[in-house]
Amino acid sequence: MIEDIKTLPLYINGHFINTKKTFKNISPVTGQVLCEVSEAGMDEVDQAVRSARHAVDHAWGKYHPSQRADLLDEIADGIEKRFEEFVQAEVADTGRPIYLARTLDVPRGIANFRTFASILRAGVSESVDSLIGDGSRLLNYTVRKPLGVVAVISPWNLPLLLLTWKIAPALAAGNALVCKPSEETPSSAALLAQVIEQTSLPKGAFNLLHGFGNHSAGAFLTQHPDIDAVSFTGESKTGSHIMAAVAGGVKEVSFELGGKNAAVVFEDADFDQAVAGIVKSAFYNSGQVCMCTERVYVHRTIFDRFVQALKQQTEALIVDLPDTENVDLGPLVSYKHRDKVTSYFELARQEGATVITGGGIPVFGDDRDKAAFVQPTIWTGLPDHARCVTEEVFGPVCHIAPFDTEEEVLVRVNDSKYGLACSIWTENVSRVHRLTPQIHTGIVWVNTWYSRDLRTPFGGTRLSGLGREGGQYSIDSYSEITNVCIKYS
C-alpha cells in the first residue's frame, strides 16, 4: 500500500527506482509530510525515454488493437481490485471529500481504460472508392499508427482521472509513454505504476517520473529530442512554454489549459435548477476544476432574487475534513495554492467588489485550522475588465453581474482570453440554437454542467487549449494517420 511506502519511486522500463534527490509530499489537511518522493533528473528522464522508444519500436507498438484492448481492460481490473487504496491516495494528496474520490475519481479512472478498450474493439474503417479521369479506379483507406514516445504531464486537481484520461487513449493507439504527474499529487500515479507492473504490458511502454517543471523532470522531458509528442493539462502559461520547447522539432501537442468560464441565466430559466447548477459549477471540488464557473451573468429581472438564493445555498455548504459526513468542500490542494486564492480575496476588495458571502479563511478553533481551507465566495459589483473577472482564480469563487439583452451578454461571455466552457440556463430552445454557435468555447452546456460522455470531443479555444480529446478524437490525436491510395483498374 502507498501509505506504507516512505519514498515513492520512479518506474522506468519495468523497474521501480529510488533516487538520492527527493522532495516532500505534504498533506493539505494536516500540513504533515505524507512521504518522500524520488525526483527524476536528466539521466532518469533519458532512461525512461529510451525504454519507451525501445518498447514502441520492438514490442508494444506492434500489438494488434484487440491485444491492446485486452491490456487496457487488464489495467482497469487492477484498479478495481485496489479501489479503496486509490481512494485513500487521492484523498491524502488532495484533501478532496472522500465521496468524490469514491464516486468520480476512481470510477472514472477505471472507465477511461474500459471506454478506450471498447473503442478499439469496435474499430474504425474508413475507405473511399473513386473513379478518375482515365477510367481507372482508386481505393483509399486510412491507417492509424502510433506517434511513438508520448510525454504525458498531468495536473494536481483531478490526479487519477486526468492522468488516465491521457494514458488510456495513448496506449490504445500503441504509443509508449513517459508520464509525469504533478509534484503536489504523486500518490495515485505511483499506485497506478504498481498496478501496471502486475499486468502483461511490455516493459518500457509505461514509465513514471516524479519531479517539478522548470529545471526538473518536466522541463527535461519536454526538451528531450527523442519524444514525439506532448500531452499536457495545466496552466496556460506552462502550455506556452512547452509549445516553445517542442517547436523546433514541430512535435505534436495536445493542451487542455485554463479557463475563466461563464454561465448565463436567462429570465425564463428554471430558477431552482439554475441556482443549484451554479452552486455546483462554482464550488465543486472547491473550485479546483478547469471547467468551474467563475463568471455568472443573470438577467436583470431576476438578478437580486438570484443573488440572494445563491448566497443562501452557498452558506449552507459544509466546509470540513474529507471524511466528514455530507461534506461539500474540502481544503485546497496546498497552502501555496491557498495563498494564491486568498490574494484574489484581497484584490477583489481593492477593485471595489461587494462580498456577498465568504472572502476569507474559516476558523474552526480546533485541528481543522491546520488545513488549507478557504470560504466559498461570491462577489458582485465589479466591472468586466477587473482582474478578478478576467483572471483564472481556480478556487471556490464567482462574480455575478446583471445583463439586459442576448446581444449584450454574448459579447461579455466571449470577451475573454480563455475559451473552455460555458453554461446556458433557459427554457427557450430557439435561443439555445441561436446562441450556442456564437459562443467561443469548446463546450457549451444547456441546463446542466459537468455532464460528460467520454466519446464526445473535449477541449478549448484560445488560452484554454489546443486539440480535442474524447472517444475517437483521442485515438486520432495520439495517432499518425496515413492515407493509402491504390490504383487497381
Kindly state which CATH superfamily the domain 2-257+464-486 is placed in.
Aldehyde Dehydrogenase; Chain A, domain 1 (3.40.605.10)
Rounded Cα distance between 217 and 44, Å, is 9
Span 110-114, average pLDDT: 98
Q: Does residue 185 register a pLDDT over 80?
A: yes
Span 111-124, average pLDDT: 95
On whether the CB atoms of residues 59 and 363 are closer than 8 A, the answer is no
Rounded Cα distance between 168 and 28, Å, is 29
pTM, rounded to two decimals: 0.95
Q: What is the pLDDT of residue 3?
A: 56
Q: pLDDT tens across 219-247, in order?
A: 999 999 999 999 999 999 999 999 999 99
Q: What is the pLDDT of residue 133?
A: 83
Confidence of residue 127 (pLDDT cuts 50, 70, 90): very high
Q: Is 398 a catalytic residue?
A: no
Cα-Cα-Cα-Cα torsion 477, 482, 483, 489, nearest 10 degrees, comes to -150
Q: What is the pLDDT of residue 200?
A: 97
- Please tell me which residue in 39, 183, 184, 256 is annotated as part of the active site: 256
Q: What is the pLDDT of residue 1?
A: 55
Q: What is the pLDDT of residue 2?
A: 58
In the chain, where are the structural domains located? 2-257+464-486, 261-453
Q: What is the pLDDT of residue 5?
A: 64
Residue 189 one-letter amino acid = A
Q: What is the pLDDT of residue 134?
A: 87
Q: Is 290 a catalytic residue?
A: yes
Q: What is the pLDDT of residue 32?
A: 96
Q: What is the pLDDT of residue 4?
A: 61
CATH entry, 261-453, from 3.90.950.10, 3.40.309.10, 3.40.50.300, 3.30.530.20? 3.40.309.10
Confidence of residue 61 (pLDDT cuts 50, 70, 90): confident
Task: Please tell me if the domain spanning 2-257+464-486 has the same topology as the one spanning 261-453.
Answer: no
Q: What is the pLDDT of residue 123?
A: 87
On whether the CB atoms of residues 404 and 306 are closer than 8 A, the answer is no
- Please tell me which residue in 179, 290, 292, 398 is annotated as part of the active site: 290
Q: Does residue 461 register a pLDDT over 70?
A: yes
Q: pLDDT tens across 139-172, in order?
A: 999 999 999 999 999 999 999 999 999 999 999 9
Taking all residues of the chain, what is their mean pLDDT, rounded to a whole number? 96
Q: Does residue 186 register a pLDDT over 60?
A: yes
Confidence of residue 6 (pLDDT cuts 50, 70, 90): confident
| Residues 6+ away with beta carbon under 8 Å from 306 | 265, 271, 274, 275, 298, 400
